[in-house]
Amino acid sequence: MTSWNTPADLKYAKSDEWVRIEGDTATIGLSDYAQDALNDIVFVELPAVGDTITAGEQFAAVESVKAASEILALVSGTVTEVNSALESAPETINSDPYGAGWIAKVKVSDASFADTLMDAAAYAEYCQTR
């Protein structure tokens, strides 16, 4: 049985994104489970700073040697920062999904969607069922 890293300070979606909310800033990325399932990530399509994103809708994408995947917003708000290092090193998501592999930071206008997300224990259990 595989065990994926699921930091306890994050919230997780069934679509395999994670969010860390600190004050009115949310950092969003892909989970360890997602990067493992995708295998070698070769391209990341980032949003633009200033983009308005809506919780539950696509705001970015990744491509791997296996598949392309949408990345869904877990909060609504305005993109304040993107991880432009991923443009030249998309594989960073594979090696450090919760650290250097973050995708975007968002000034949160509505965090209510985050209340529907799983905590680390529930997400780890969910991953084991797939």
66 Cβ neighbours under 8 A, 6+ residues apart: 38, 39
Could you say which residues of the chain have pLDDT below 50? none
Per-residue pLDDT, 3? 79
Per-residue pLDDT, 66? 87
pLDDT tens, residue by residue, 39-66: 999 999 999 999 999 999 999 999 999 8
Per-residue pLDDT, 1? 52
Question: Whole-model pTM?
Answer: 0.95
What single string gives the DSSP state of each residue in 7-70?
-TT-EE-TTSEEEEEETTEEEEEE-HHHHHHH-SEEEEE---TT-EE-TTSEEEEEEESS-EEE
Query: Could you give phi then psi for residue 93, rounded to 5 degrees?
Result: -60, -35
Per-residue pLDDT, 49? 98
